[in-house]
Amino acid sequence: MTIGIIGAMEIEIELLKEDLELKSKLEKASMTFYSGNLAGQEVVLVKSGIGKVNAGICTQILVDEFDIDQLIFTGVAGAIDPALEVEDIVVSTDLVQHDVDATAFGDRKPGEIPELAKISFEADENLVDLAFNAGKDILKSESNQVYKGRILSGDQFISDKVKVKKLKEQFGGYCTEMEGAAVAQAAYLNQLPFVIIRSISDKADEEADISFEKFAKEAAQHSYKIVIAILKKLISS
């Protein structure tokens, strides 16, 4: 079994890359795909770059070039649920593209993908449970919490309380980021099991840029630990 692991930014994959027993590299679409062994599991690790287009292209390359069996996306996100604190973890149950709007056609809902007639894309239940349980174990000695829930994606860095309130009212969900739902849609089209793991780096408010710079690295460490725990569980299962 081969697991694909994606992070949008270097900070989101650097700890994983340090642990990877590298076997080969492939350069494609301005991305570097690192194949090797991580925590006893065969993996392909890659930095997709920021945004939904990069994430979708990256996912399809993992499918086409490496025939991966499962996919994990790891990284940071901004909170939209007021219960969340910086460095809490959100494990995706499903994902929605909040910036998709075809409602001008009259019979479409916000976030609905035309032709697919879908708003949300569901993560694999087994991977979700593995990530959630790993998160609980990792955070049990800390003040942070792990949640299962909807994640919103759009090609926007959200730093506006008014926008956060609107997103929460319209779509629900726990956090917002810029890649996950594109990965989810590509995985859905390829019938590929996936999960998105997000560690909260900011509150998606007017101080989000400051908070992101300050806490992103610490938040990414939690995601890294969960990914390693999932890989170990997949071997033993």
Catalytically active residues are 12, 202
Say if residues 90 and 21 touch (Cβ distance below 8 Å). no
| H or E stretch at 223 | helix 208-236
| Residue 127 burial (C-beta neighbours within 10 Å; 0-12, 13-18, 19+) | buried
**Which of 101, 128, 127 is closest to 113 using CA atoms?**
101
Q: Parallel, antiparallel, or unpaired: how do β-strands 21-28 and 89-97 relate?
A: unpaired
Question: Which sign, positive or negative, has the C-alpha torsion 102, 104, 108, 110?
Answer: positive
Q: What is the largest CA-CA distance in the chain?
A: 52
Q: Which residues, listed in sequence order, are joined to residue 202 by a DSSP beta bridge?
A: 78
